[in-house]
Amino acid sequence: MREQEIKGYRDLMVWQRAMDLVVRSYEVTKGLPKSEQYGLISQIQRAAVSIPANIAEGKGRRHLGDYLRHLSIARGSLMELETHVLIAERLSYVTPQQADAVLKLTEEISRLLSSLQQALEKRR
């Protein structure tokens, strides 16, 4: 999608894929033990939701620097989510296949975030 065609954050492929990641993350947490309700379940869901939320908030800011800062926060939440999923896998709360599905999405989103950040940096 060319820059001129992007009207809002919902048009961004990175936001769309991040929303897919939220759904996948919630599906994964359904299988975690109830004892993790205030631990890993909460952390996974919070980190996942933070990614598209920060992309959207950044897109809504008036200044390019603010946008880039929010994309950086989204990247941090993405790495946090990866870590929580790897912990859940190590604890045998999720299968390697479940973890892999999430990690493949995080890798794709990481690439998309990098591309968007680079394009915005060129405009600076």
Domain ranges for the chain, please list them. 3-123
2 has a pLDDT exceeding 90: no
For 68-77, write each residue's pLDDT tens digit: 999 999 999 9
Write out the two tokens for 12.
């961004």
Task: Kindly report, residue by residue over 19-49, the tens digit of the pLDDT.
Answer: 999 999 999 999 999 999 999 999 999 999 9
Question: H/E element holding 72?
Answer: helix 64-90
Summarize the chain as % helix, strand, coil (round to 5). 80, 0, 20
Cα radius of gyration rounded to whole Å, the chain: 15
Which fold is adopted by the domain 3-123? de novo design (two linked rop proteins) (1.20.1440)
Closest CA to 12 of 122, 124, 117: 117
- pTM value? 0.93
